[in-house]
Amino acid sequence: MSNAPSNDALSELRAALETLARASEVRVFGVADLDGVVKSVPTLFDRVGSSFRRAIVMGIPVNPAALEQIVDRPTPAYFHAYRQLNYQLDTVALVVASRLLDEGHRCLAIAASQVINHSPPQGHISSRHLGLAAGIGWLGRSGLLVTPRYGARVRLVVVLTDALLPAGRPMQFSCGRCLACVKVCPARAITTRPDDFNLDACYAKLTEFTKIPYVGQHICGVCVKACAPDNPGRAVDVHGNPVEA
């Protein structure tokens, strides 16, 4: 007889993990089936090992007040919010991973926004591609994950696991006619076509921003601020429901 958890048990575990995460201010929660993601991102597991089957993707919204003073560059207030959200997300990921370990599952919490290579800029794993696969948002023209309720104004963290939790389905591109990020990008890296995003131009501008006093990080925030959930022209509303053009 198999000792594998039943579908009901896995559904209950997923619900328990989401409850645990939401108690720590997580407002976006989804699960990605990694089998499908690897087909579109073959290098997904290059730095973390390939024995995981699911990715839990969690997001905490950025406080809109931390974005208010951003015009064409990051501010110290935004840097502080960015840094503290990453700390908070890392803590939540460790709590969720601990619960998975208690349940007998293999897992790995991936540090939020930890850069492990600068040329090209890379982290341990692509949280935005995993967020897409989990069905919590789509990849916008800026290359960021755009969620129905918060736009791109959300920070993400990932926990990988071998627990076969019920997974979501990818969302379709739903920026619609919205070009807010295209109009304000200080690097002119964003175009109307998501596939034409200029990562080199973006990173060059981020490198300039590291010289800003009390920022000192490869961050921007301009397109994050521009990508609000109520922008006109989007193809879905804040609940993810289609909007008539």
Whole-number Cα distances in Å, 171 to 14, 27, 94, 129, 168: 20, 18, 27, 11, 9
How many structural domains compose the chain?
1
Q: What is the pLDDT of residues 83-112, one digit of tens each?
A: 999 999 999 999 999 999 999 999 999 999
* β-bridge pairing 107-110 and 54-61: unpaired
- Please indicate, yes or no, if residue 195 is contained in any of the structural domains: no
Q: According to DSSP H, which parts of the chain are helical?
A: 7-22, 34-40, 76-102, 127-134, 180-184, 199-209, 222-226
At 60, list the tokens.
């905490």
Q: Which of 114 and 228 is assigned the larger pLDDT?
A: 228
Q: Using CA atoms, how far apart are residues 95 and 51, in angstroms rounded to an integer?
A: 21
pLDDT (average), residues 152-161: 96
pLDDT attached to residue 123: 67
Percent of the chain with pLDDT strictly greater than 70: 95
Could you tell me if residue 172 is inside a domain? no
* Length of the chain as a residue count: 245
d(CA 151, CA 231): 9
Give the C-alpha separation, 10 to 92, whole Å.
20
pLDDT(137) > 80: yes
Do the domain assignments include residue 198?
A: no
Q: Residue 120 has what pLDDT? A: 65
106-135 mean pLDDT: 83
Q: What is the pLDDT of residue 93?
A: 97
Residue 116 lies in a domain: yes
pTM greater than 0.75 (yes/no) = yes
Q: Is residue 94 part of a domain?
A: yes
Q: Is residue 21 part of a domain?
A: yes
Give me the phi and psi of 72, to 5 degrees please. Answer: -135, 15
- The domain of 11 spans 7-68+78-161
> Distance (Å, rounded) from C-alpha 193 to C-alpha 191?
5
- Within a domain: 26: yes
pLDDT at residue 36 in the model = 81
Per-residue confidence (pLDDT) for residue 1, from 0 to 100: 41
Point out the least confidently predicted range of 126-130, 156-160, 182-186: 126-130
Assigned domain for 31 exists: yes
Tell me the mean pLDDT in the region 205-229: 95
Cα gap 188→181, rounded to integer Å: 10
